[in-house]
Amino acid sequence: MQQVSDPTATYRQIVAALDTPAAGAMLNDADALVRLGPDEPRFHYVRGMILRHLDRRDEAIPSLRRAVALAPGEHLLWHGLARTLMEAGLPSVEEYGRALQLRPGDGPMIEGMTAALVAKGDAEAALRGLEQIVRRSPTWADGQKLLAQMRWMSGEREGFDRGFDEALRQHPRDYGLRYEQILALTHADQWEKLRIVVERGRAAMGELPLFAVNEAVALSELGETEAAEQMFERFDDSADSSVAVRHIRNLLRLGRLDVANAVLEPWLKGDHAQTFWPYAATIWRMTDDPRWDWLEGDERFVGVYDIAGRLPALDVLAEKLRSLHRAPGQLVDQSVRGGTQTDGNLFHLIDPVIVQLRETIREVVAEHVAQLPPTDPGHPLLRTARSPIQFSGAWSVRLTAGGHHSNHVHPMGWLSSALYIVVPPSVAGDAQAGWLNLGEPHAQLGLDLPPFRMVEPKPGRLALFPSTMWHGTSKFPAGERMTVAFDVAMPSGSAS
């Protein structure tokens, strides 16, 4: 049994470790603190937060409830409980309400309450409440960002960002508001509005890199690629990876593959390499560079596994997932078109059906990783460390007639996926309707590069592929298509 000689020092060590990978190792110390001070709310709180870190939310919740019972006036304790309940898939509106009563105006708590209301199925109330709060605090950039996302999710396309416009009329030199509005319009592919916003920013604040770069982005996306190139050339020495990516995209549109490759190559050796591997794959494949075979050509990189017999009953799983699709539409920065995507991390839910799903997937991913080629420290997939299997995100997507995923990548992941739960009958009669395509780049680049592999959707079929690989789906004419998708986190200690 763990012994603690200095409870105060141990408590401080645990608090310092809470948001780090070292948190899990402190559980025995937290247990010892609770034994020493069973009526000390802080000790129950840190124990609960460690259990949350370990994805043991069913055990974390009693500790956090004990903490708020002992200290009902501490907003931090209520916030920890509310977050953990929401992540676990349990009602959390009341707990967020208690936290906000104790600390009105707290940004993260307001964001959490908004998500909790959406999870409850009350997106309209979430939107109206957020509108009132942002109206009182118009320079809260994160709030304006969330409000724009909520309006988009509710079906508003033109003017979804009008909160920024209203705030900037009163605070025209607020850089944070300018930045977040530009980012929102970029996610929404609203390039004409972006040009207007850039000009407004210049008029209010003068010439700044933020405005010049995003004018170049808008010009490129609108097809004015030569004019965009002249602007991008001003930033050839920029250390901003996002600027380099946008420049590469413009060069691809211009057909200047050799120049695009020259811009790209130095970034493949740095901390931002994950962002650039998809473009390297595109350029190398288009130019018959043998490095494409090294990067994406090995058949072992993509795995297709029929695992219906290892999963919870698919009809039960489908019904469970449908109950989680409470949002009225997709968020502005998602690849979903014509459907909805669940919020939060699906694999944090404590529902037994989801837990069985998660653990079965963990086993299959481990099997896939075991058959990968040998270690290659320079390769984004073939890393030195390959365990433990952990998930950086998981969600469900429900598409209806005409729904699809635009081609995209997941640069923050290691392996990505598509697990088919429900497949529309219309797919069976069409050779490619609703199929997963791999290797076809973002359609807006206008490149004549088809997928190098297609995966037929079947109930209970899991496709695994590198997160840096372009992927998307084709449209299907009718019915419902339900999937679970997730990103496997990059194992710690692996090569970058």
Of the listed ranges 97-101, 387-391, 429-433, the least confidently predicted one is: 429-433
pLDDT 10s digits, 15-26: 999 988 889 999
Of the listed ranges 67-71, 156-160, 291-295, 325-329, the least confidently predicted one is: 325-329
* 3-class secondary structure, 397: strand
Q: What's the whole-number mean pLDDT along residues 376-392?
A: 91
Which pLDDT belongs to residue 434? Answer: 79
Q: Is the pLDDT of residue 445 over 50?
A: yes
pLDDT above 70 coverage of the chain, percent: 94
For the chain, give the mean pLDDT: 92
Q: What's the whole-number mean pLDDT along residues 186-195?
A: 95
Nearest-angstrom CA–CA distance, 134 and 144: 7
The continuous run of DSSP H or E covering 46 comes out as: helix 41-53
Q: Is the pLDDT of residue 493 over 60?
A: no
Residue with tokens 């770069």: 213
Burial of 409 (0-12, 13-18, 19+ CB in 10 A): buried
Nearest-angstrom CA–CA distance, 43 and 454: 52
Q: What's the whole-number mean pLDDT along residues 479-493?
A: 88
Which pLDDT belongs to residue 311? Answer: 97
Which pLDDT belongs to residue 494? Answer: 43
Contact 391, 464 (CB under 8 A): no
Which pLDDT belongs to residue 405? Answer: 63
Taking phi first (over 0 means left), then psi (-120 to 50 degrees means alpha), and beta for anything else, what does residue 78 get?
alpha
**Three-state secondary structure of 98-119:** HHHHHCCCCHHHHHHHHHHHHH
Nearest-angstrom CA–CA distance, 51 and 46: 9
pLDDT above 90 coverage of the chain, percent: 80
Confidence band, pLDDT 50/70/90 cuts, at residue 495:
very low
Contacts of 420 (CB under 8 A, 6+ apart): 457, 458, 459, 460, 461, 462, 481, 482, 483
Nearest-angstrom CA–CA distance, 36 and 110: 35
Contact 478, 403 (CB under 8 A): no
Contact 99, 89 (CB under 8 A): no
Residue 397, φ and ψ in degrees, nearest 5:
-120, 130
Q: Is the pLDDT of residue 496 over 70?
A: no
Model-level pTM?
A: 0.89
Give domain 299-488's CATH number out of 3.90.650.10, 2.60.120.620, 2.70.50.60, 3.40.50.300: 2.60.120.620
Which pLDDT belongs to residue 330? Answer: 54
Q: Is the pLDDT of residue 276 over 80?
A: yes
Q: Where are the chain's structural domains?
A: 299-488
Quote the longest CA-to-CA distance of the chain. 70
Count CA atoms closer than 13 A to 69's CA, side-chain side: 9
Confidence band, pLDDT 50/70/90 cuts, at residue 329:
low
Nearest-angstrom CA–CA distance, 279 and 265: 10
Residue 246, φ and ψ in degrees, nearest 5:
-65, -35
Q: Is the pLDDT of residue 472 over 60?
A: yes
pLDDT 10s digits, 235-256: 988 899 999 999 999 999 999 9
Confidence band, pLDDT 50/70/90 cuts, at residue 326:
confident
Which pLDDT belongs to residue 343? Answer: 84
Contacts of 85 (CB under 8 A, 6+ apart): 61, 91, 92, 95
Contact 471, 408 (CB under 8 A): yes
Higher pLDDT, 127 or 338: 127
Other beta carbons within 10 angstroms of residue 169's beta carbon come to 11
Nearest-angstrom CA–CA distance, 10 and 37: 13
Tokens of 475: 């449209």
Q: Is the pLDDT of residue 333 over 70?
A: no
